Amino acid sequence: MKTLVTGRESMTSKERVRAFFRGEETDRVPINMAWNPLIRQRVMDHFQAKDNLELIKALGVDFMGVGARYAGPELFKPVADRNVDTCYGWRTRWVDHGSGGYWDYCDFPLKDATVDDVAAWPFADPALFTYDHIAGRIDAFPDMSFHCGNAGIACIINNCGFLRSMEQVLIDLITDDPAGLLLMDKLMDQQYGMMRRTLEAGNGKIDFMWMGEDLGTQIAPLISQDIFRKHIRPRQQKFFDLAKEFGTPTLLHTCGSSSWAYEDYIQLGLTGVDTLQPEAANMSPEYLKKQFGARLVFHGCISSTGALSFGTPDDVEADCRQTLEIMMPGGGYAFSPTHCLQDNTPTENVIRMYETVHRHGWY
């Protein structure tokens, strides 16, 4: 198996990521990955990696996730030509494109739901999941950094949109629609219960909790700050309180132009922000580092829609080096693509991306 890891490391992944969340300089910046299946397979083939674990080793990735496993009854009936989510009941359909495809959300079964309809929707009880494997999973990789949650945890607008449509969720937020607000509460209660049980099972070995809330378009906020403070912030407060209870840092996935909400999140206790699309308004590395560098840590900033997709390997290297030069000083930066790398991304660009961080991501 080929590898980019040089052997210069003086810290384990766990030590490196924990120091990152403290805003400290490390031996090198922590490294993460995210991609669609086809580009991942092409990169695996390049490194002659047999599985995801070997790919993590080849790239020097420092992050791994751990979570609950559903063990309850089937809650939702199958639907022809659809993939129905086991725990939430949202539906997706396969949509082909020129270089792969996506499972795209569709049907929106609660779009026209009443309060009674939402109340009867059978979200999976957190008690129906198993958690006893979590400690063993972490112990099997003692040098790795583990997180619970993901970009969909505590994410109100997206998750409700999968069941109710994005248009209807935005209407719900503006009009205080009782059915829409009840759906938000049911989703948050379900995910909160899972996160509490997961953190308990981790027994202090989980390094951070990952959450998300997409709050911006490419040019502006998606909702007003008043609506955010009325409906989003209060429902997410308990997740930050939970993380504080367990002494766990928090990382929040925020797509689009989202920095307008960071002051509120800092008040809630947020440790770091993820995605950080540099082409979105007020999301450039320079802006983020200047405005929030003393109060937040950063994960992302390597645009998945810029040089990685449309440039040459030299363009990718220049983009990555510029981001590292801006974000690294003083610590508090983790190198990662802004989103899952898309299937149309040239393999050689992905290789150059990770070669660059291993050459230039050292303190």
Residue-by-residue pLDDT tens, the chain, 363 positions: 889 988 889 999 999 999 999 999 999 999 999 999 999 999 999 999 999 999 999 999 999 999 999 999 999 999 999 999 999 999 999 999 888 888 999 999 999 999 999 999 999 999 999 999 999 999 999 999 999 999 999 999 999 999 999 999 999 999 999 999 999 999 999 999 999 999 999 999 999 999 999 999 999 999 999 999 999 999 999 999 999 999 999 999 999 999 999 999 999 999 999 999 999 999 999 999 999 999 999 999 999 999 999 999 999 999 999 999 999 999 999 999 999 999 999 999 999 999 999 999 999
Any idea where the domains of the chain sit in the sequence? 13-75+110-360
C-beta of residue 337 within 8 angstroms of C-beta of residue 277? no
C-beta of residue 47 within 8 angstroms of C-beta of residue 352? no
Q: Count of residues for the chain?
A: 363
Please state whether 54 falls in left (phi above 0), alpha (psi between -120 and 50) or beta: alpha
Cα torsion at 319, 324, 325, 327 (round to 10°)?
Answer: 120
CATH of 13-75+110-360, one of 3.30.70.270, 3.20.20.210, 3.30.465.10, 1.10.3260.10: 3.20.20.210
* Location of structure tokens 């925020």: 254
* Cβ within 8 Å of residue 48, ≥6 positions away: 1, 2
* pLDDT the model gives residue 1: 85
* Location of structure tokens 């209807």: 168
Q: Which of 256, 262, 195 is nearest to 228 (CA)?
A: 262
C-beta of residue 332 within 8 angstroms of C-beta of residue 23? yes
Handedness of CA 123, 128, 132, 133 (dihedral sign): negative
Pairing mode of beta strands 208-212, 145-149: parallel
* pLDDT the model gives residue 97: 86
What DSSP element (H or E) covers 154?
none
Q: CA 141, CA 227: separation in Å to the nearest integer?
A: 42
* Location of structure tokens 């751990």: 66
Q: CA 196, CA 176: separation in Å to the nearest integer?
A: 28
Which one-letter amino acid corresponds to residue 259? S
DSSP state of 28: B
Q: CA 330, CA 39: separation in Å to the nearest integer?
A: 33
326 burial class (0-12, 13-18, 19+ CB within 10 angstroms)? buried
Q: Which two tokens stand for residue 349?
A: 């660009």
* Strand intervals (E) in the chain: 63-65, 69-70, 83-84, 91-97, 100-106, 129-130, 145-149, 208-212, 250-254, 272-275, 297-302, 333-337
Q: Residue 103's beta-bridge partner residues?
A: 94
* pLDDT the model gives residue 101: 87
C-beta of residue 257 within 8 angstroms of C-beta of residue 282? yes
pLDDT in tens, 39-91: 999 999 999 999 999 999 999 999 999 999 999 999 999 999 999 999 999 99
